[in-house]
Structure 1
């Protein structure tokens, strides 16, 4: 399909994708949900636009502190979290999520509480460091 997309034949590509979506209601629903944010109807146009989302040429200029999550079993972009982390020259923090923790796969779907705890803990640490005051309990973490 990538070669077909790269061929530039918009009409043929949209027809093939349209036929596949017409045969699989679940796939069509997923496609619509994921495509909605872009406001682009043509599969060819959408994938062409998304292919432009590449930070490779500017990754060395990123200076904003980044938190990068890295789950085991990432099905869409395996290894991309580590690749981004390694390419960054500015402040960065890599947070691993493992299958043993039940927090693997894309977006850590079965480990959302662990994901949120780690992300908010990191945010607490960054905000405390930025204002120099720390959190209400003095630990760098807000507790309830």
Structure 2
């Protein structure tokens, strides 16, 4: 356990995971955008959001009972983060109340889906509520008692 190298394991999985997301044409500046997200409706948001664009690994920990999901990692792109939520681009639809883990280079998160909007057939703008933040460790890659691989 002590010899586990989180950054090396993460980097290896990022190279192996499939990247099935096709961003919409109008998002051609997606990876160059930075800064604070402009608030359109201040009554709906009470926390400031910051644009953070990077690749990440996601796994579905608790799907809805009626939906069969594989225990595996898939590639996602982060959009923005606030104190208690984040936006992520996923390659397929997720449903409200599903629980996922988002593994990033320096930490990992347990999240609950709150909304999902289709942009293209392989691009879904998905909103998550933060359940718990974790420091980097081996457990980021363990789900349901299994060490998850690509």
Smaller-chain TM-score bracket: under 0.3
Q: Which has the higher helix share?
A: 1
TM-score, normalised by the number of residues in structure 2: 0.20
Larger Rg: 1
